[in-house]
Amino acid sequence: MSHLIEVLLYQPLYNLLILFAWLTPSHSIGWAIILLTIVVRLALLPSSLKAAKAQAKLQALRPQILEIQKKYKDHAEQSRQLFALYKREGVSQFGSCLPLLIQIPIMFALYSVFRHSINGSSYDLLYAITPRPETMSHFFLGLDLSTPEMWVLPILAGASQFVLSMLTMKAMPQTSGAMEDQAQMMMKQMNYIFPVATIFIARMFPAALALYWVVSTVFGVVQQLYFNKIIKKEAAEFLAARATNKKELPVSTPTSDSPKRGYLEKVMEKRMEKEEKRTGVTVSIRKKS
């Protein structure tokens, strides 16, 4: 498995890093890191956008999800009801997670490239078509990227991480309730703890990793600003579509046992039978005696 990851992820990313370093006038590893990080983030942008749209739909269904969780205490029944809701609304509960899971091995491979290959000791992994620079400059804006840097890049990494955390928190729906309030409080605490932890972690490794973290997080900030607009737009369109579908259904006011009421009940029964076949959920109609 490790050999497969090296061939499919590590080696191509490493070759791109060396290629970008060769293309810069001073063979700067710093500019190569910036270029490679942007290229990778752009390549992952479609999957991130797909996850954002799925997240928007899940947020729009948040009131119904909370209602089901409160109504059904049995976990098995709760899961069945939630699955029925997702299927009925055409929403995947894993739609916002799977695209992000795909990105994780790529990010780890990128991290490994910057950590182990900055000294050029892995030239044996270069493809035959990849140019091999005789020397590479580890200095970027006066900073030595091959050694830990204590202040500038770690602080930039922590600050950008804080901005990204706040934007991500802003995109999440505000809910009420004891459990929801506790979860939101923990998220707010992590918004402050994680950036501070980022600063200390960035000071422990070569500055090349801190530079990668800064560039990747700044890209993430710009991406999140765009996604916040997308999430609001997608959620509004999804709710509008649901409201339109509800309006199309006939509404009856059963005040008497009239022929009209019986006709409307038959129409509703047929619609629910079709819905039952489509979703696989058993639906029953209760009639007033």
Q: Is residue 269 part of a domain?
A: no
> What value does the mean pLDDT of the chain take?
78
Per-residue pLDDT at 95: 64
Average pLDDT over residues 73-91: 84
Q: Is residue 238 part of a domain?
A: yes
Which range, of 12-16, 156-160, 190-194, 282-286, averages the lowest pLDDT? 282-286
Distance CA 14, CA 1 (A): 18
Per-residue pLDDT band for 272 (boundaries 50, 70, 90) equals low
Please tell me the pTM assigned to this model.
Answer: 0.75
Q: Which residue has the higher pLDDT, 188 or 166?
A: 166
Q: Answer yes or no: is pLDDT of 167 > 70.
A: yes
Q: Is residue 204 part of a domain?
A: yes
Per-residue pLDDT band for 274 (boundaries 50, 70, 90) equals low
Are 124 and 180 a contacting pair, CB within 8 Å?
no
Q: Is residue 38 part of a domain?
A: yes
Per-residue burial over 160-178, b = 16 or more CB atoms within 10 Å of its CB, e = otherwise:
bbbbbbebbeebeeeeeee
In the chain, the number of structural domains is 1
Per-residue pLDDT band for 163 (boundaries 50, 70, 90) equals very high
Per-residue pLDDT at 143: 92
Q: Is residue 144 part of a domain?
A: yes
pLDDT tens figures, 200-250: 999 998 899 999 999 999 999 999 898 888 777 777 777 777 777 666 544
Q: Is residue 254 part of a domain?
A: no
Q: Is residue 262 part of a domain?
A: no
Strand partners, 137: 28
Q: Answer yes or no: is pLDDT of 161 > 60.
A: yes
Three-state DSSP class for residue 140: strand
Q: Is residue 7 part of a domain?
A: yes
Average pLDDT over residues 4-28: 88
Selection from 87-101, 140-154, 238-252 with the highest mean pLDDT: 140-154
Distance CA 164, CA 23 (A): 31
Q: Answer yes or no: is pLDDT of 28 > 80.
A: yes
Domain hosting residue 231, numbered range: 2-248
Are 82 and 61 a contacting pair, CB within 8 Å?
no
SS3 content of the chain, % helix, strand, coil (to 5): 70, 0, 25
Q: Which residue has the higher pLDDT, 96 or 79?
A: 79
